[in-house]
Structure 1
């Protein structure tokens, strides 16, 4: 992922005192066992929530940006990068 300068300046606030685990988390706790259980590095050690997937992140971004998009569809994460 490419971080612009302004984003990189905000990153320390987002990370705060975190030393392990994913930064962007899913809404629900990750499964603890079974074939769908994520790797330990993909689970927040504090909350037990899993890493936010790309499709879910794109859905959330499109939904949040729909009001601002002149076409009303919302923007994709690829458009956010540009």
Structure 2
């Protein structure tokens, strides 16, 4: 497993723990702003994990596709994903 995947798994595991903590905070009736701040932190980790996976994809899958003259499909995939990410 390459470094990007290892780092993305760690970020996802951390965000999983944060989300479990957020659920407990809501159940315990904690202050809304504190809950919201924790949600922002979890979202940040999810974005970080996504960027690491995309970096791995570009460095390996897309690079290999261009070497093998089939890069156009990979560019379309990236463009579709970017359009989804930019809608947020």
The alignment's TM-score, normalised by the length of structure 1, stands at 0.29
More strand by share: 1
Q: Work out which of the two has the higher radius of gyration on C-alpha atoms and give 1 or 2.
A: 2
TM-score by length of 2: 0.28
